[in-house]
Amino acid sequence: MSRQTKSALGRGLEALITMDDLNTGGSSSINEVELSKIEANPDQPRSVFDQEALEELAASIKSLGLVQPITLREIEPERYQIISGERRYRASKLADLTSVPAYIRKASDENIMEMALIENIQREDLNAIEIALAFQTLIDTHSLTQEKLSERIGKKRATIANFLRILKLPAEIQIGLKDKKIDMGHAKSLLSLEDPSTQLMVYEQILEYGFSVRRTEEIVRELNESGTIAEKPVAIAREKKKMPADYDLLKKHLASFLGVKVSLSCNEKGAGKISIAFANEAELEKIVQFFDSLKNNS
């Protein structure tokens, strides 16, 4: 990585999007741009926008205005596309603004996704799957090697390689990672298993029993050393027996009180979760009434 690139990384997006290797042109002062003239970037790497967080931001914008301008490029006269700030754009629409402050920059099509990716990574706005897909798209679109991509976005090549590998996991596991049911450490452990059905088996056990990354690594190691798939469930079966008898009794009591199925899981550190199932709205209402009664009697 060049010395210029390294120093730019410490200064955030404003430095990055004016670097020579991104081929961007100068910028103007802050402009007030009508929302009706702005469109989202179809290649935006971020695909998930939390509605509650957007509404909170919208409330803040209603009160204080949009403090940080969004960044746009002109795609035709009086038409603009978002380079960075789509979340702020969406929240501004929710806040019923008619225009927003914005920087207008010159950027080629090939640089837009790269710039959006850099901004989102620096703000930690992307989940692991979104990052992986964005890396793969940049590599495919611009015929980049992992090393070249590393130089352009300021991420280690090994980090890029790890993200790309998770795209080889079964779709169900990728969705779980995207929804933050597991984290990157779990995903990397599952990649050590070659058989997709075994990966899914361990993934389901992680969800059911709340296995830590370390425990998952131990299970994967046992499975890889066991030799055949037929022997693989043994390691997890032993783990299932570790649930204390008191916990099982508690689960039965809760199920009896609520009149619905209750699941309880616990990891080796004593942390866990309680899941309450309901078959329809009537059962859900019954559960809510039960907890309301406890609150009223407290």
* DSSP classification of residue 251: H
Could you give the 3-state DSSP secondary structure of residue 164? helix
Is residue 47 within 8 Å of 60, Cβ to Cβ?
A: no
Among residues 239, 230, 236, which one has the least CA distance to residue 195? 230
Angle CA(87)–CA(90)–CA(91) in degrees, nearest 5?
A: 85
Question: Whole-angstrom Cα distance, residue 141 to residue 114?
Answer: 11
Start-end of H helices in the chain? 3-9, 13-16, 51-64, 86-94, 109-123, 128-142, 146-153, 157-165, 171-178, 184-190, 196-209, 213-226, 233-240, 245-258, 281-297
Environment class of residue 193 by beta-carbon count within 10 Å: exposed (0-12), middle (13-18) or buried (19+)?
Answer: buried
Could you give the 3-state DSSP secondary structure of residue 206? helix
Environment class of residue 287 by beta-carbon count within 10 Å: exposed (0-12), middle (13-18) or buried (19+)?
Answer: middle
The pair of three-digit structure tokens given for residue 25, joined into one six-digit string: 């042109």
The pair of three-digit structure tokens given for residue 187, joined into one six-digit string: 């995903």
> Which residue among 32, 34, 55, 86 is the active-site one?
86
Clarify whether 208 is annotated catalytic. no
Would you name the residues annotated as active-site residues? 86
